[in-house]
Structure 1
């Protein structure tokens, strides 16, 4: 579901103005007027803007720790000095002509073998055109309305559409879209029967009438505004880039970007409007939802013959095109293809034109953080003082060693359900209302971590995270205490609804991230720990959960979920991390100790989860999709081994110099590459691949390619590969995530810096050595995985491929 106030939203730009720009960003210029920011000291940026500014096309934004003068000189010399500004006002996008009556459209789609039964695999959505993107106050108000209408159990659409449990929950279109010229709001459901379409439309209209008549509860409005306040202060590593990209749409339409960033003023204006007119939001609902004829109802149903019909239609078009080709045109097309192949294989000789870092630019180690470890009531607690912008972050890691095998497989469902059921003292609606008014909410997720120093063991459990304003720390602890000690999973009908939604959401995104699923499954054919990981979060998890929930009564599932919670939420299983301002940490620690003491006492369960290597295996997950996702995996060495950083560099080199040009550019895959995980499993992958057999051949011939193209592995390509690895290692870390590697994986700063040092010191000879060591001979333990349609060519493969009918 789209979140109007997600981390991606440009409305959080105020924190950029207040906190980010002075220390990290040089500033930007728009519309001829530089922002009045004290830290904007680069006069050359202003001079550059004055020289080339034209109202219709000048947009300059400098982000990050840039060598600004050098960059501007390059842009000036290579581009701007030889061009004159043009008037592009004629290309401005006009507003949509408003419809005089609503419209309805029905489309057919591909049947998803991973999803629900075909009779329930239908979707419906109602969308309404809203305000112009440049109307900042109006779009802000509509974003607030979107949150109030659809988010959380206290929202009207959730109560009327989700709780009745006749669908698989909201679909991906749901939310307010503010990145287009004419913004729009949509709400839709997935996985429902065709005869429920009319019911959805009736509920939609009924809900709008109820909102107009009754309005919103004041505490619901305040909880939404609280989340905005919290998000204004919360910092993420990609905050600036996301903000920039989200401002682009408004900027392209000549909107007032600065006004859109001044969120406090927008909130003040909203509060003023609500004070002067308590029915202000109801009026907006009436204006945009009830009296709006620009409304589209879109329905979609699967067709089992969709793929065949598509192929017939494509063949018909192709035949008609070929029929009209003259011999001369055919020869021209053939020659173009030959020339394209030559250009794809030709060496690139002009890369010197691209701006690039030098190795000396990245020699310096990243700044070190301060950490302290204490034992609060015998619980290992890490403290990380940082400039958190008046926010306190809590991470609680619960060891899952006491769980049975079946209980472990239910951890993902438990994490999805635990925050949606309320407690013994508060039902889920009241508890959600209290939580959203005080903290960011609780997030639970599976924690599965291989031992970085020993590839033969791993740890698993549940990670709980949350954060709040410093002033609300005591409330955070009380709410965590209430949830962990008094969680209540008793409402059978609600659990059924949550399970239905969980199953519906599992298969969403498989086609967008199929390469990740393929790599996970391939790794699962190499070690039993990776196999368990895939069964907890991969393709195998979808089949397991569908079969388990169909064969197990909901009442029994509830008992298992309750047992998991009771086993996990004990003192002996807990360790924690606190991130906060240095002056706040002592108070935070004292408050947190109250939470620790409230948990049931128990002895820590000491158990080592052993990793076993598996025999080579090839697996084809047959899916009703038109493209393939390929992956191969084999075991090398874990993170702490001296060869691991060399393999990391090699993976970057192979991605850029081998798989990208061969698998992607020549064989037609949308993407391809390789990587090595901290678990020591080296993986190859391809994305949306039309030629799976060719790709697996490319994977298998990696050694031969490196030996036959030794000139490719030179000082320049080694330098580029090192930069690629360092880009990941040196990525910014948000204040709330500082110390995460130490807390979750036991990885110290010294070990991280030593790994980085090894990256910088790796020589060409050492890279060639790991090629000989790990790629020359066929690996003893490897796995291959293919996600895709039926493939007759695999039946003739010398390796035996196991066919898995996924979703059947």
Structure 2
């Protein structure tokens, strides 16, 4: 289709065409003739088509109204009048992405699918949802997704409930997340960014239904929209669909959604804020120190990339000079930072964790002194080249990490378009990098530091310090507040609250009408590819070295994995394997100090990781597993030999007894693990529970669970007492693992490249130790513990699970996951219970778990899990609904894989002995699942639940008040 600039196509005028060489796409920029809606199409040969519609939604307060609307518009609309069309789509679509996101200044609704029919179905539901939501008809949607009073009887305690309310209580429970939400409040106090678009739990309950409706009326109009299309779809057909079904019915509307600029400060802004820790917790070295610099407009394309490089240079890499200086001067145990280029004005942020309030001035002075030194003396050229290479490699590889590429591009477009800039500038980086490379050794980055940091007027300095018992104080105040609210209510008002609650519950309990469910567009089994996609995998032996080969096109990027069997480590020392992976590459070697090493790695290798992994063995019905230590790297093909040389230096010649460096790394690691426990509580709970059930579960928990955190705390305590025996242990662990006898390599690329790289791998293997190693067994499952893991968080993560005979595993259990996660559990735990998320998991190895995420309840959720067998006994849906569940399950199985993910998947199948026939058989089991199959799982689930294996992580007081736990573990 030859589109001409200036012509209109289905109501959209083509304003510009541009070729984007960097992403191999043709860009078309349209504006709707009537509404002035903006639309961009990126035409390329990617079959994973993306549609998104976004609205500029700057908040005027911190009630979270943009966030609550994002949830609520997906709860039924004009054409699709069911309680949750979004959930119906998750259950029944072949989507590769389906979600909605609230940002500080925009709300976006993206979908993706490789199936054209499905793509239009998803577009239809989403466009109807944003323009014609049922929020105008049903206040109960606001009550469910936002907040409401919870009161069943007049004598009951009055409480707050709501999905977003629970979600944001979880977010605010993490000190890291809390700080990040306070930064714009202080640094951008004269703009809308001073308000929290996600919602502050202290203010969410101030939002009225009328204000909620008014916000939607104001901002959710085509005149305030930014529409995006990506992929190999028919552009003419897409434009016709959007206009003829939706935009033609709207007129132009003037909408004031302007985002203000922050004024120049008169002086540095300083603030002290507090976060809660336990009453009996030591508050030493628990303070966060933070400094922020407002840089420039996000639409400045050169700075958009240049400051990302500078941020990596100064703070991200292990040898980053600013990070190193702060750690060396012992200002903090952990230093992080970022360049936030997703707002109207970009911001460079530095955070020092595990510090003291008394070190505030030292923190500030060290930052300025070090940056002045770098400007005066120049930044090391290797540091510069390493960071430029790192950022540019990531851009060119375009690894999207689970997101469709089109969505990544939409995000970059909005980073300029939303603020009136060139919408395509951030997708065109060739000229920027040419300029940077031509000037990078001539004071380019030093000039950026001088102009945008040292001479910056807009600087903020925040101290966030611990307050013992603050969370308990806030909880007590909240109880008192609710008690006071209730006392001031008349009998009529109390009856109204109870009546509204009953009306909400009635809506939640009333099944959608079949005729309404049938209106939600769906696919048929004929739309499914019956054949599973199998990653080509072949084991080759080259001069005594085993190499797994995956033959597919990688655009001349090598994906290599060096996998070392790690059964050579005794069971009591398993956590040292993970510690080795966390430390190696960050210490000096015989040839390089750790700063130089970091630079050499980033100059020559696109990305490298050190990861211990255990693979189940599915060749039989026993519960055996095989642990490995995997070194994965990706590089340009012409850099593989140098990459292997560097990795050899790291694994063979690391010097482990640098006491000060070990102290720094362990301290930083402990800090990061603390954050992980709060932010990923469901995974901590899941791993802890699996450790009760299987030997592999116990092994994994020592690597990635609470046990590893406790191990690191113990190591940190020893180091603080000048006990550095850990250095000898690490050296011993490395010498045992990095042995030629343990190595199985993997390579992904074409045959010609394999021939070259395989020889290099053989040479690498020839330099390894070649000794006979002892092999250990791991039979250390913990047995049923039923633990409550105590934190200062305000919400909970609740799990219950068990183990089943893995010979009973079938692909149909994937369908059961879909049904439970998006039907029974969704309705009981999320919709009615107010949790942010809930999952069911049934794995090939026979492990099973039910998990909730940011959950206000504990017992109520466990009771919901116990109700699963009864639900299955009465499970009865028609053939059409069953087909939807099957299609939704296939969607999960068919998520498109990036090249690196494809390589990892192929390796995992090899090590787990999962054959192509097994994958195909499980796919057929999914497709053939029917009502009888699902009912037949009742006994299996009863058996799993009867083990009474329970674990919950969350609020200390709530967990201690429950009598279901045999043990308590405190996380301080």
Q: Fold match, TM over 0.5?
A: yes
Q: Within 2, Cα distance between the matches of 1:262 and 1:228?
A: 14
The answer for the alignment partner of 1:133 in structure 2 is: 298
- Give the superposition deviation at 1:500: 1.0
Q: 1:607 to 1:758 in 2, by over 3 A?
A: farther
- Give the superposition deviation at 1:451: 2.2
The answer for the alignment partner of 2:5 in structure 1 is: none
Is 2:688–2:705's contact at 8 Å kept on the other side of the alignment? yes
Per-residue CA deviation, residues 125-148 of structure 1 (Å, 9 max, x unaligned), is: 000111011121232222222222
The answer for the alignment partner of 1:587 in structure 2 is: 756
Q: Structure 1 residue 279 and structure 2 residue 443: aligned? A: yes
Counterpart pick for 1:401 among 563, 567, 571: 567
Is 2:810–2:925's contact at 8 Å kept on the other side of the alignment? no
Unaligned runs of 5+ in 1: 1-15, 49-53
TM-score normalised by length of structure 1: 0.88
Per-residue CA deviation, residues 448-492 of structure 1 (Å, 9 max, x unaligned), is: 222234342112121111111111122112112222222221211
The answer for the alignment partner of 1:732 in structure 2 is: 896
SS in 2 for 1:357: coil
Q: 1:740 to 1:316 in 2, by over 3 A?
A: same
- Give the superposition deviation at 1:555: 2.5
Counterpart pick for 2:701 among 528, 534, 546: 534
Q: 1:729 to 1:438 in 2, by over 3 A?
A: same
- Give the superposition deviation at 1:40: 11
The answer for the alignment partner of 2:353 in structure 1 is: 190
The answer for the alignment partner of 2:789 in structure 1 is: 621
Per-residue CA deviation, residues 108-130 of structure 1 (Å, 9 max, x unaligned), is: 1011699x942111101000111
The answer for the alignment partner of 1:145 in structure 2 is: 310
The answer for the alignment partner of 1:124 in structure 2 is: 289
Q: 1:369 to 1:462 in 2, by over 3 A?
A: closer
Count of residues in correspondence between the two structures: 768
Per-residue CA deviation, residues 521-546 of structure 1 (Å, 9 max, x unaligned), is: 12222223312322321122212321
- Give the superposition deviation at 1:414: 0.8
- Give the superposition deviation at 1:667: 1.7
Per-residue CA deviation, residues 647-691 of structure 1 (Å, 9 max, x unaligned), is: 221122111111111111112222112111232111001112222
Q: 1:656 to 1:314 in 2, by over 3 A?
A: same
- Give the superposition deviation at 1:597: 0.9
Counterpart pick for 1:762 among 913, 921, 929: 929
Is 1:392–1:578's contact at 8 Å kept on the other side of the alignment? yes
Higher deviation after alignment, 745-754 or 487-496 = 745-754
Is 2:574–2:699's contact at 8 Å kept on the other side of the alignment? no
- Give the superposition deviation at 1:503: 1.0
SS in 2 for 1:679: coil
The answer for the alignment partner of 1:288 in structure 2 is: 452
- Give the superposition deviation at 1:285: 1.5
SS in 2 for 1:659: helix
- Give the superposition deviation at 1:335: 2.2
TM-score normalised by length of structure 2: 0.74
- Give the superposition deviation at 1:779: 5.1
Is 2:788–2:967's contact at 8 Å kept on the other side of the alignment? yes
Q: Structure 1 residue 571 and structure 2 residue 571: aligned? A: no
Q: Within 2, Cα distance between the matches of 1:238 and 1:582?
A: 29
Pairwise CA RMSD of aligned residues?
3.1
The answer for the alignment partner of 1:376 in structure 2 is: 542
Unaligned runs of 5+ in 2: 1-18, 32-37, 52-119, 121-220
Q: Within 1, Cα distance between the matches of 2:40 and 2:569?
A: 60
Q: 1:771 to 1:73 in 2, by over 3 A?
A: farther
Counterpart pick for 1:722 among 860, 866, 886: 886
SS in 1 for 2:838: strand
The answer for the alignment partner of 1:156 in structure 2 is: 321
SS in 1 for 2:568: coil
Q: Within 2, Cα distance between the matches of 1:793 and 1:611?
A: 27
Per-residue CA deviation, residues 218-275 of structure 1 (Å, 9 max, x unaligned), is: 2322222222332233243535133333433333223223221111111112344558
The answer for the alignment partner of 1:518 in structure 2 is: 685
Q: Within 2, Cα distance between the matches of 1:753 and 1:401?
A: 31
- Give the superposition deviation at 1:790: 3.9
Is 1:693–1:794's contact at 8 Å kept on the other side of the alignment? no
Counterpart pick for 1:177 among 316, 340, 343: 340
- Give the superposition deviation at 1:327: 4.4
Q: Within 2, Cα distance between the matches of 1:666 and 1:642?
A: 32
Per-residue CA deviation, residues 411-470 of structure 1 (Å, 9 max, x unaligned), is: 111101111013212111222121111112431112122223434211212111111111
Is 1:113–1:623's contact at 8 Å kept on the other side of the alignment? no
The answer for the alignment partner of 1:8 in structure 2 is: none
- Give the superposition deviation at 1:321: 3.8
- Give the superposition deviation at 1:308: 2.5
- Give the superposition deviation at 1:793: 8.0
Q: Within 2, Cα distance between the matches of 1:374 and 1:458?
A: 22
Q: 1:674 to 1:154 in 2, by over 3 A?
A: closer
The answer for the alignment partner of 1:216 in structure 2 is: 379
Is 2:698–2:780's contact at 8 Å kept on the other side of the alignment? no
Q: Within 1, Cα distance between the matches of 2:674 and 2:758?
A: 41
- Give the superposition deviation at 1:55: 11
The answer for the alignment partner of 2:582 in structure 1 is: 416
Per-residue CA deviation, residues 782-801 of structure 1 (Å, 9 max, x unaligned), is: 5110112345787774x5x2
Q: Within 2, Cα distance between the matches of 1:283 and 1:264?
A: 21
The answer for the alignment partner of 1:497 in structure 2 is: 664
Q: Within 2, Cα distance between the matches of 1:38 and 1:203?
A: 48
Q: Structure 1 residue 602 and structure 2 residue 602: aligned? A: no
Q: Within 2, Cα distance between the matches of 1:356 and 1:765?
A: 22
Q: Within 2, Cα distance between the matches of 1:111 and 1:556?
A: 31
Per-residue CA deviation, residues 163-190 of structure 1 (Å, 9 max, x unaligned), is: 334422124xx11000001111110110
SS in 2 for 1:490: coil
Counterpart pick for 1:660 among 812, 826, 836: 826
Q: Within 1, Cα distance between the matches of 2:497 and 2:674?
A: 40
Q: Structure 1 residue 803 and structure 2 residue 971: aligned? A: no
Q: Structure 1 residue 386 and structure 2 residue 549: aligned? A: no
Q: 1:576 to 1:646 in 2, by over 3 A?
A: same
Q: Structure 1 residue 631 and structure 2 residue 795: aligned? A: no
Q: 1:62 to 1:279 in 2, by over 3 A?
A: same
- Give the superposition deviation at 1:353: 4.2
Higher deviation after alignment, 688-697 or 303-312 = 303-312
Is 1:106–1:300's contact at 8 Å kept on the other side of the alignment? yes
Q: Within 2, Cα distance between the matches of 1:55 and 1:30?
A: 13
Q: Structure 1 residue 234 and structure 2 residue 403: aligned? A: no
Is 1:29–1:60's contact at 8 Å kept on the other side of the alignment? no
Counterpart pick for 1:746 among 913, 921, 944: 913
- Give the superposition deviation at 1:777: 4.6
- Give the superposition deviation at 1:717: 4.2
